[in-house]
Amino acid sequence: LEPTTDVGPLIGDTYRAKFEKHIADAKEHGAKILVGGGRPKNLSKGFFHEPTVLAGVDHSMVIMREETFGPAVPLMEYTNFDEAIRLTNDCQYGLGAVLISNDPKKIKQFFDDVKAGTIWINDPLTDHYAGPFGGMKYSGGARELGEIGLDEFREVKHVHWDFNLEDKSYWYPYGRE
């Protein structure tokens, strides 16, 4: 990559084609592209696609129902905070969610009610390596990073060792015979 590259390529042509289909579907169903939307003119090699901001999306659009794994920001209107949470959860995936707010009550409601493995408040670009990372629902249940992430690589074994070697009254509650 060039030192001036801000957004790298998608992983391959199959994924870029899928991303482009998601953008096209959104446009066909009424979304408007505010920024980007195509392949960069100056990058013919690689699987680059411009970061794309879409307005007027809804949950009938594929981009809101499937994991896109491309540089897209679909913007969707909502009428109140409860509806925003309902719309956030109205998806089979739950890798992460972002809230920009300084209202402690709304922040708490968001992280209590949203079904996502990682919740970013005011900074979606920062992760803490001591914290676990992973999704909910169809985004997976496993975690990596942090102590919980290490647990994914361990097998737990419980051993109970009684050093006394004496008969216990509860072994034979009705007598030995």
Average pLDDT over residues 97-126: 93
Q: Which of 16-20, 129-133, 171-175 has the lowest mean pLDDT?
A: 171-175
**pLDDT at site 14:** 96
Higher pLDDT, 52 or 41: 52
Q: Mean pLDDT across the chain, nearest whole number?
A: 90
**pLDDT at site 159:** 80
Average pLDDT over residues 147-165: 80
Q: What percent of the chain has pLDDT over 90?
A: 59
CB 98 within 8 A of CB 85: no
Q: Where in the chain is the domain with CATH 3.40.309.10?
A: 1-77
∠ Cα 25 28 32 (to 5°): 95
| Confidence (pTM) | 0.76
**pLDDT at site 70:** 95
What is 1-77's CATH superfamily? Aldehyde Dehydrogenase; Chain A, domain 2 (3.40.309.10)
